[in-house]
Structure 1
Amino acid sequence: MVTYKLHFIRHGMTDGNRTGRYVGRTDVPLCQEGRQELEALKQKYRYPEVQEVYCSPLTRCVQTADILYPDSPRTLVEDLVELSLGDFEGKYMKDLKDNPAYRAWLKESLKNTPPGALETGEQFAQRIAMALQQIFANMTQNHITEAAVIAHGGVLMGLLSAFAMPRRPMGEWAISNGCGYSVRMSTQLWMRDQIIEVLGPLPEGRRSGQDDRVKAFLGVL
């Protein structure tokens, strides 16, 4: 049975990540500290070699791919973009905590949208599941057995909480910038049970949770 490895990697740090602001779908670049951190991780640890990089089209993910996989073929996947946070983007959680609209969204984020956004949590989950299905189909059709997926915190946490074994709630899949998890997929397991098997943390040699900066809520973004 043919198996496929995917390496889920969160983009490097942005100014919004560094200062604790919601970024969501706002297209921001990596900050200088984020670039330096990625270079340091790449030198100290190991990112697996891949045949293809599937990447969110937002700048911070493309720049991360440029640093970690400059010579690998790349496919931009529109459905890997982060959840839109509407009017909450660019704002600090601490400044929103008493906002009635923010509190209402947190209470029912699967059913509701932030003001100014168009996608509920349920629609977001459906979209990123479709992105993973498209990636897996592309891999099988093109005989790609090992690939990287460079995306956002909320996207990767959502995919892992929905499909990964062992099962964990979304918050326990929080991922630091430039880090992630390697997973294994097979046609049989995916078609029958929609399961992906977690193999271990990334980059290789770095323990999960080591030097974590933030445990993200929804898309630490």
Structure 2
Amino acid sequence: MSIYYVRHGQTDWNKLGYLQGQSDIALNEEGIKQAKQVRDAMKQVHIDKIICSPLQRTRHTASIINENYGLEIHEDKRIIERYFGEVEGAKRKDIVFEDFWKWEKPVQYGMESIDEVFHRVYDFLDDIMEEAMHQNILVVAHGGVSIPFQCYFDEENRKKDLISLILKNCEVAQRESKVKVK
């Protein structure tokens, strides 16, 4: 079976280029439209379980997609966006955002480290992987969480420019479940 990963729809902060992190920002009209497009595109996809981050932008995206399924939506804090500390709310153009996703760069501004993000997302994926062997699971989360998600299924991605792995708003990634060998 499969895991479908959807990044939340657009927010005003996405549109204006602000770094959201764990700030709880709502979807804007475009984000709602994007979520409806994903809902319509996934109409023929069987989903058994929906899990999202506790932030409202992911909950709202998940609830729109869930109009197809009528399932209980489960929240999991391990797939919340990366905490960016003092620079949450800053304009991306005013900071060197790309440096925040480079393994060799030190942690700055009190933000969560890349290793911490990977650890909690991998822990989440380890927990749902057995379920995903028998069910299709929809995960609705964030751009920063999409990086470790993609690395989990292909370790070669860890060698890439991590920024290049960030999914666009309401982009869908599908991965087949697998047994993770530790």
Spell out, residue by residue over 1:22-72, the C-alpha distance to the aligned partner (whole angstroms, 9 max, x if none).
Answer: 0011111111221022223433x3352201001111111100011011312
> 2:110 aligns to what?
116
The answer to whether the aligner puts 1:172 opposite 2:164 as a matched pair is yes
Contiguous gaps of at least 5 residues in structure 2: none
Contact 2:5 2:140 survives alignment (8 Å): yes
Higher share of residues assigned strand = 1
The answer to whether the aligner puts 1:69 opposite 2:62 as a matched pair is no
User: Which runs of structure 2 are paired with 1:85-124 in the superposition (5 Å)?
Assistant: 85-97=84-96, 106=100, 112-117=106-111, 119-124=112-117
- Distance change (3 Å), C-alpha of 1:107 and 1:64: closer
- Distance change (3 Å), C-alpha of 1:122 and 1:72: same
> 1:163 aligns to what?
152
- Distance change (3 Å), C-alpha of 1:109 and 1:28: farther
Contact 1:111 1:120 survives alignment (8 Å): no
Contact 2:49 2:135 survives alignment (8 Å): no
TM value normalised by structure 1:
0.70
Structure-1 separation of matches of 2:85 and 2:61: 24
Q: How many residues align?
A: 176
Contact 2:79 2:121 survives alignment (8 Å): yes
Contact 1:52 1:146 survives alignment (8 Å): yes
The answer to whether the aligner puts 1:33 opposite 2:30 as a matched pair is yes
Q: Which structure is richer in relative contact order (CA contacts within 8 A, separation 6 or more)?
A: 2
> 2:173 aligns to what?
181
Q: Percent same amino acid among aligned pairs?
A: 22
Contact 1:10 1:178 survives alignment (8 Å): yes
Structure-2 separation of matches of 1:127 and 1:62: 19
Structure-2 separation of matches of 1:111 and 1:92: 20
The alignment's C-alpha RMSD in Å is 2.5
The answer to whether the aligner puts 1:136 opposite 2:129 as a matched pair is yes
Query: Which of structure 1's runs of 4+ aligned residues deviate more than 4 A?
Result: 107-111
Partner AA of 2:167 in structure 1: I
Please report how far the alpha carbon of residue 171 of structure 1 lies from its aligned counterpart in structure 2 after TM superposition: 3.3
2:177 counterpart SS class = strand
- Distance change (3 Å), C-alpha of 1:153 and 1:106: closer
Spell out, residue by residue over 1:129-179, the C-alpha distance to the aligned partner (whole angstroms, 9 max, x if none).
Answer: 111112224x16xx851110111011012220x222484323332311111
Contact 1:13 1:33 survives alignment (8 Å): yes
